[in-house]
Amino acid sequence: MSGKKPVEPSPESLLRAKRQRLAQEEGARAMADLEKQAIEVRQNMQRLRALREAKEADEVKKSDAPPQAAKRRRKRRIVRYG
């Protein structure tokens, strides 16, 4: 007799192959979902950036005067007795 393996796979190897196949399919679905979410996030960021830039452009048009600097606060003097 020769020392060859049996042609039929064992039930354990069949289960392991099935688990690996399912994990691979799940991984592919998860990666597709993540890519889809990333695309949606980038599109939303682009939309919000366009809105912000339009708002800033309107503010610049409305105020022709240069923006004024904030008033400086006076420092409190600490009076020490002693």
From first CA to last CA, the distance across the chain in angstroms is: 108
Q: What is residue 2's predicted lDDT score, i.e. its pLDDT?
A: 60
Q: What is the residue whose two structure tokens read 């020392």? A: 3
User: In whole angstroms, what is the distance from residue 81 CA to residue 20 CA?
Assistant: 80
Domain ranges of the chain: 11-62
Q: For residue range 46-78, what is the model confidence (pLDDT) as tens digits?
A: 999 999 999 999 988 888 655 566 777 778 888
More confident residue, 9 or 49: 49
Return the exposure string of 39-59: e unless at least 16 CB atoms fall within 10 Å of the residue's CB, then b: eeeeeeeeeeeeeeeeeeeee
